[in-house]
Structure 1
Amino acid sequence: MRQLTGPCRLVLLCLVAGLLCADALIPHDRVTQPFAIRALAESRAVGINSHLTTRYPDSATMPIPAAILADLGVQWVREDLHWHRIQPDPATWDWTFSDAALSALHRQRLQVLAVLGPAVGWATPDPTDHPNHISFAAPDEAAFVAYVAAVVQRYRHVVKHWQVWNEPDQALFWRPAPDPEQYTRLLTATARTIRAIDPTATIVLGGINPFETSFLRAIAAYGGWHAFDVIAIHPYVDPLNPVEGNLIAAADGVRAIAARYGWKPVWATEVGWASGASDRDPLALIDAAQQAAYLPQAYYALWQGGVSHVFWYALKDDPHNTYGLFAYGSGRADFSRAKPVAAALRDLAASMPTVDAAMPVTTIHLLDRQVAWQRPAQPNGSIRQAQDGLHIAYRFTTRANDYVAFELREPIALPAHTRALMVRLSGDGSAHHLRLWVRDAEGERFALTVGMIGPEADQVLSAPIGYRALQYGYVSGEGNRRPDAPLALQAIVVDDQYDGWSGVGELIIGEIAALVGEAGDGSYYTLPVGDTRPGTASEMTVKITAGAAVWLRHTIPATR
């Protein structure tokens, strides 16, 4: 695919000159470094949220659950070092459970990601907090740093990876409301303290929602980007399964931000599905067999998306949330009731499969003939057909949500058994969302997000197409709000990644294709692997089955 031509660049400059009343495109808002969206992680690790320090009730028998973890074959565990248990009041330090848990895990040679926080009541300004109990209010910074210093000093020889807080972008875990400026100050002070005690330590961000990246962007804007070494995400998509939720794209947004501010590895320090009713699935749409099937699918998808370390949530069920490998049973010390998902994790950790053969899907090109496009409402973009593809120019001028849609005058029918839609494009470095609208038999519109628009280089993006994935993407139309076959491609949409962006841009779409598999053969989707320059890109077709994912590699011909 060719790069943007000189005349195209001239047009963009003229458009910029015309935006006298709008904010110009800020240079640091462009993605200037290529970012490997959906590239296979160089290293892959299996982890689990073990929570022995805070949930296992008997410090004397801590070697029992530690041995169970080792038997599962995981390499990593995630442990909470709750402040209120270690320092229940300013004058008291209680290391009983943390000593027992970390010692038992160390003897099993398990690597530990230790979570620092949350607050203790006596160290917050919230008058409703019990002084000795856990609190999710923003803590006194000096008191928090003193707690961190004591913990790191004590465990620096057995813990080398420290996560600062859990989900600070969620109102449940940072009261009274998420505050990225306040968290950035705490993160920076904590990181400085940890590195002073142990310069070899790794600082991990506090596990954010990757599908809404404004909090991470704010951390960077407040100067916190260099305070941490690893971006941690919590890419929950349940009750959608890993394919329907397009889990492979979970790290796209944070990777685009890293392309602006500096590359960092991405870990998923929580991901999971419950085996019954849960906070995220109150209707119990997922059972124990499905939970077990989704575990390897989730790990494979995240690894393929460039996430190296994946931690399943969790080791044991809670009474009201059945995310665990073991049922709650008679209590937190009862490990007698392993669920099918425990065997799935053990098998995954034991095999760590690489590439196997699979039946290929059929690729059907949807734009292999002249089609007519129209811009239905938004006056802020244009589309034209050229020899190398569709050239889309757009202009976003507000601090609200900007988008532009280009509709086909005659929607293109999707073949039966379409498993995914694939787009080949050359981007402009904006990291905006590229979406496709699909129309169903009742005329309703449903949106699929195929990915983020990367730099000026060949890029292949795809999105699975399925009943539940489409239903969650309902846009408009009178009907039952369910995607009824037959389906048709209706529009291409460019949507700003965050509302604060303004400026102009252009991308070239070289191809839109349907990936078709026979009924009952599993769910397929496509992703780029390795070098994505013209003539060197390769395509990996992934087949998700009940318990595994298998891949088929073949070469993408260069677009000239």
Structure 2
Amino acid sequence: MIEAAMIWNEPNNKSHWDPELDPDWSRFATMAILAADAIKRENPAVTKVLGGISPIDAGFMTRMKEFGVLDHLDAVAVHGFPLDWNLWQIQEWPQKLGEISAVIDLPIWVSEVGISTFGAEEVQVWGLRRTAELLIGNTPRIQWYSLYDLPRAWEATTRHREAEGSSYYRHFYMGLLREDGTPKPALEEFLRYAPQIGLVQWFHYQDHRLDDAVAWMKRLGVTHMRTGLSWADSFRPNALDWFDRQMQALEDFNVTVTFCFTPEHRGLQPHHTSPPLVPEEFAEFCAAMIQRYAPGISAGAVPARRASAA
């Protein structure tokens, strides 16, 4: 079941939202408010979450507050990768949460946290253990990124691959499972913390890993997870068939579904990071997905399983 809808992913990261097209985030704020209100109209019981920010920036959160975005939400989220990309150390997690709680009153979710095995698989074991010590009990949601390594034949979602150097390749080593599905040492460590810690797994269009991922999450005792439904992907051939298959496969989990990524033909620029030409269109996509996969009881909707099979 969908328990939460997250509006965008890392909006303050140029790999996910273009700062040149929206230097003060006012376009994002408008879009987020429209999306949150559209989700609420379809199902008020779904928790509305601001897309997890990366870097963790109290200034960005204050900007969202000033624009009135937080008045339309139930929670905010942060992403942290102190052993791979962030310029702070892992023991600073409580301080980072404190910086955000100092400027807002909403619950703060940690919707992505992870450690790559780029340098050594043993680092991930230690990092998972230390992350659990620092975060369990201090945030209502912790979602580990990720279950699978990103296949090397694919591309990481980034706009600055050439400038990242080795940092780019860390994207491919974040899983508890290797690309071929074999477990890394940290998988056994993760068993100690589920279901207090959930998982993040992005499923690409027609992702061959979907069924195996579901089986692994159930084996690990995961009860809540986070994934995405891409507005850009919704324009692919037979997109709704794929969305139906994905959401039906995940129906036994409490799912945070992230809505993000602009179709090239609907952006100010032809790129997934672009603000949309018409922000209401993104809100309409969010509403349609909630109506299809988490319909409000007050609307007299059928259960999600039957709706996804229609």
Normalised to the residue count of structure 2, the TM-score between the two structures is: 0.58
CA deviations over 1:86-121 (Å, ceiling 9, x no partner): 9879x984448624444337x5123414311252xx
Paired residue for 1:74? 73
Paired residue for 1:152? 132
- Aligned 1:329-368 pairs, distance under 5 A: 355=299
Contact 2:223 2:253 in 1 (8 A): yes
Paired residue for 2:145? 165
Q: Are residues 1:115 and 2:102 paired?
A: no
Mark the CA change 1:70 to 1:176 in structure 2 (over 3 Å): closer, same or farther.
closer
Paired residue for 1:252? 244
Contact 2:115 2:128 in 1 (8 A): no
Distance 1:188 1:532 in 2: 30
Contact 1:251 1:266 in 2 (8 A): no
Runs of 4+ in 1 over 6 A off after TM superposition: 85-89, 244-247
- Aligned 1:523-538 pairs, distance under 5 A: 529-530=302-303
Distance 1:236 1:87 in 2: 26
The Cα shift of 1:245 comes to: 7.3
2:203 to 181, 203, 208: 208
- Aligned 1:369-388 pairs, distance under 5 A: none
Paired residue for 1:98? 96
Q: Are residues 1:271 and 2:260 paired?
A: yes
Paired residue for 1:390? none
Letter in 1 for 2:49: G
Distance 2:213 2:262 in 1: 29
Distance 1:532 1:99 in 2: 37
Mark the CA change 1:238 to 1:219 in structure 2 (over 3 Å): closer, same or farther.
closer
Q: Are residues 1:174 and 2:172 paired?
A: yes
CA deviations over 1:410-466 (Å, ceiling 9, x no partner): xxxxxxxxxxxxxxxxxxxxxxxxxxxxxxxxxxxxxxxxxxxxxxxxxxxxxxxxx
Paired residue for 1:437? none
Distance 2:83 2:50 in 1: 23
Give the secondary structure class of the aligned counterpart of 2:78.
Answer: strand
Mark the CA change 1:73 to 1:168 in structure 2 (over 3 Å): closer, same or farther.
farther
Q: Are residues 1:232 and 2:234 paired?
A: no
Contact 2:94 2:135 in 1 (8 A): no
The Cα shift of 1:306 comes to: 1.8
Give the secondary structure class of the aligned counterpart of 1:219.
Answer: helix
Q: Are residues 1:302 and 2:289 paired?
A: yes
Give the secondary structure class of the aligned counterpart of 1:112.
Answer: strand
Contact 2:114 2:144 in 1 (8 A): yes
Cα RMSD (Å):
4.5
Letter in 2 for 1:78: A
Higher strand share: 1
CA deviations over 1:51-77 (Å, ceiling 9, x no partner): 15x153xx6x57624634763421233
Give the secondary structure class of the aligned counterpart of 2:109.
Answer: strand
Distance 1:224 1:163 in 2: 12
Paired residue for 1:362? none
Paired residue for 1:189? 188
Give the secondary structure class of the aligned counterpart of 1:83.
Answer: coil
Normalised to the residue count of structure 1, the TM-score between the two structures is: 0.35
Letter in 1 for 2:244: D
Percent identical across equivalent pairs? 8
The Cα shift of 1:272 comes to: 3.6
Distance 2:210 2:43 in 1: 21
CA deviations over 1:193-236 (Å, ceiling 9, x no partner): 434xxx6x251332322x32321223356x44332223433222
The Cα shift of 1:186 comes to: 6.4
Mark the CA change 1:43 to 1:84 in structure 2 (over 3 Å): closer, same or farther.
same
Letter in 2 for 1:73: H
Letter in 2 for 1:204: L
Of structures 1 and 2, the larger Rg is shown by 1
Distance 1:307 1:237 in 2: 17
Distance 1:144 1:176 in 2: 9
Contact 2:228 2:258 in 1 (8 A): yes
Higher helix share: 2
